[in-house]
Amino acid sequence: MSDIEKMELSMSSGRKFSVYVQGDMTKAESRAVFLTVHDMGCNHSSWIEFANHPVMRETRDRSIFIHVDIPGQEDNAEDLPNDYVFPTMQNIAEDLVGVLDQLKVKLVIGLGEGAGANILARFGIAYPDRCMGLILIHCTATTAGVMEHFKDKIISWKLSNVGMNPTAEQYLIFHKFGHRLIEQLDTAENKERLIKEYQDRLQSKINPKNLRKYVEAFLKRSDLSSKLESKLVVETLLVTGSKASHVNTVHNMHQSCNKLKASLLKIDDVGDVLQECPEKFAQSLQLFCKGLGVLTSLPLSGVDRQRTFSGSSTDGEEGRPRRQRTMSMEEYDTPNLRRFSFSSTQTAAN
C-alpha cells in the first residue's frame, strides 16, 4: 500500500484545499499522474480505497494519485465559517490548476465521480493543455432538472449542523447506489453491506452542515452541454452503471460530446461503479490509459504478464534466440508529453 502525504494548499482565489498525494512525486515526470475529485457525501477516502484495491496494485505502483477534497468535506471537518462563500463547480475546476502548479505537475488524467466528475469536465474544458484525459463516473453536463432541483433542495435544507437527517441520508444513498435500489438488494450479495458502510461514514465522518453547501453548489451548476462538442477536446471516457440514478443523464452527455473524443461505458447490473465492480472499472481504466499511450507495459487485470516486452529472432549462433534490446517498464510507461501538447490550431480544429 502506498504512503499517502497530506497537504494543505492555498489557492490564489483564497480558498484552501486538503490534498492527499499517493505515490512518489519525485517521479512525476516519468509516471502517470491521476487527479481525483469525489462525489457528494464522500471525500478522498473513496478514491484511495479504489486505488488500494488489489486489482489496482500494478497501476498504483507505476502511478501517482493526487486526491483533492472539496472544502469542508474532509473526515471530521469543522464547520466552515458562517461567512465562508462556498465555491461554484466552475470555481473549483479553476482552482485545480493551482493545485497542479504548486505540486509542479504538468499533465494529469482526471478521475471524477458524480459532482466531482462535473468539476473535472469543467477542468478539462478550461485547461486542455494540463489534462491528458478524463474518466468520469456518473457525470452530468446539464443544470438540475425541475424534479431534481425540488428533491435536492429539500434534502440539502434538511442537512443541518445537528446531524444527518434520515431523509437526506436516504437521498444520498439513492444518489450513490441508484434508482433501482430495492431490486439490487435482491441481486447483489454485498449491496446491503456497502450501503451500511456508506451510512456509517455519513453519520460518523462527514460534516452535514458542510455537505449541505456542496449539495447546493451542485444544484446550482451551470449547463455544459453546449460546450462539449467544440471545447471538450481531451480524450474522455464516460462511465455509468445500468442501474445508476444518472444513467440517462450520462447518455445525454455523451450525445452532446464529440464522438471522436468521447466514449461511453455502461456496466450492466450496477448502480455504484466504484463500490460494486472495481475490477471491471480498473480494467477499463487500464485500457483507456493504454489508448493514451500511458502505462503501456501494464498487464491487464486478469491477463498473465508477458515475459518480455520485445520479440526475439532465431538467427543467433547455432540457431539460439538472439535477444533484442528490451525497454524497461519505466521507459515504456513514461508519458509522451509532446503527444498531448495543444496548439491553438489543434484546439480550433477540434
Q: Which domains does the chain have, with CATH numbers?
A: 4-141+223-298+337-349 (3.40.50.1820)
Q: Determine whether 135 is exposed, middle or buried from the number of CB atoms within 10 Å of its CB (0-12, 13-18, 19+).
A: buried
261's CB contacts (< 8 A; 6+ apart) are 232, 233, 234, 235, 236, 350
Is residue 53 pLDDT above 60, yes or no?
Answer: yes
Residues paired with 7 in a beta bridge: 19
Which range is most confident: 140-144, 233-237, 297-301, 333-337?
A: 233-237
Report the SS3 class of residue 64. Answer: strand
**What pLDDT sits at residue 302?**
54
The residue among 164 and 226 whose pLDDT is bigger is 226
**What pLDDT sits at residue 67?**
98
**What pLDDT sits at residue 305?**
42
- Cα–Cα distance measured from residue 10 to residue 5, given in angstroms and rounded to the nearest whole number: 16
**What pLDDT sits at residue 297?**
85
Which range is most confident: 189-193, 203-207, 315-319, 322-326?
A: 203-207
Radius of gyration of the chain (CA): 21
Structure letter (DSSP) for residue 296: T
What's the chain's average pLDDT?
81
**What pLDDT sits at residue 304?**
42
**What pLDDT sits at residue 340?**
46
14: alpha, beta or left? (left if phi > 0; alpha if psi -120 to 50)? left
- Cα–Cα distance measured from residue 64 to residue 122, given in angstroms and rounded to the nearest whole number: 22
Work out the number of other CB atoms within 10 angstroms of the CB of residue 30.
Answer: 12
**What pLDDT sits at residue 114?**
94
Counting residues of the chain whose pLDDT is more than 90, the rounded percentage is 58
Is residue 336 pLDDT above 60, yes or no?
Answer: no
Tens-place pLDDT, residues 167-185: 666 667 766 766 544 444 4
**What pLDDT sits at residue 272?**
86
- 122 in Cβ contact with 90 (< 8 Å): yes
**What pLDDT sits at residue 339?**
45
The pLDDT of 192-200, averaged and rounded, is: 72
Residues in the chain: 350
**What pLDDT sits at residue 179?**
52
- 137 in Cβ contact with 162 (< 8 Å): no
Work out the number of other CB atoms within 10 angstroms of the CB of residue 152.
Answer: 20
The residue among 188 and 123 whose pLDDT is bigger is 123
Least confident of 4-13, 88-97, 297-306: 297-306
How many secondary structure helices (H) and strands (E) does the chain include? 15, 10
**What pLDDT sits at residue 238?**
98
Instruction: Please provide the DSSP assignment of 5-23 as one string.
Output: EEEEEE-TTS-EEEEEEES
Instruction: Quote the cell numbers at residue 187.
Output: 441481486
The pLDDT of 102-117, averaged and rounded, is: 97
Is residue 273 pLDDT above 70, yes or no?
Answer: yes
- 176 in Cβ contact with 46 (< 8 Å): no
Overall pTM > 0.75: yes
**What pLDDT sits at residue 159?**
64
Shortest CA distance to 140 belongs to which of 260, 57, 223?
223
**What pLDDT sits at residue 195?**
72
**What pLDDT sits at residue 322?**
42
Tens-place pLDDT, residues 240-267: 999 888 888 999 999 999 999 999 999 9
Shortest CA distance to 308 belongs to which of 319, 295, 323?
323
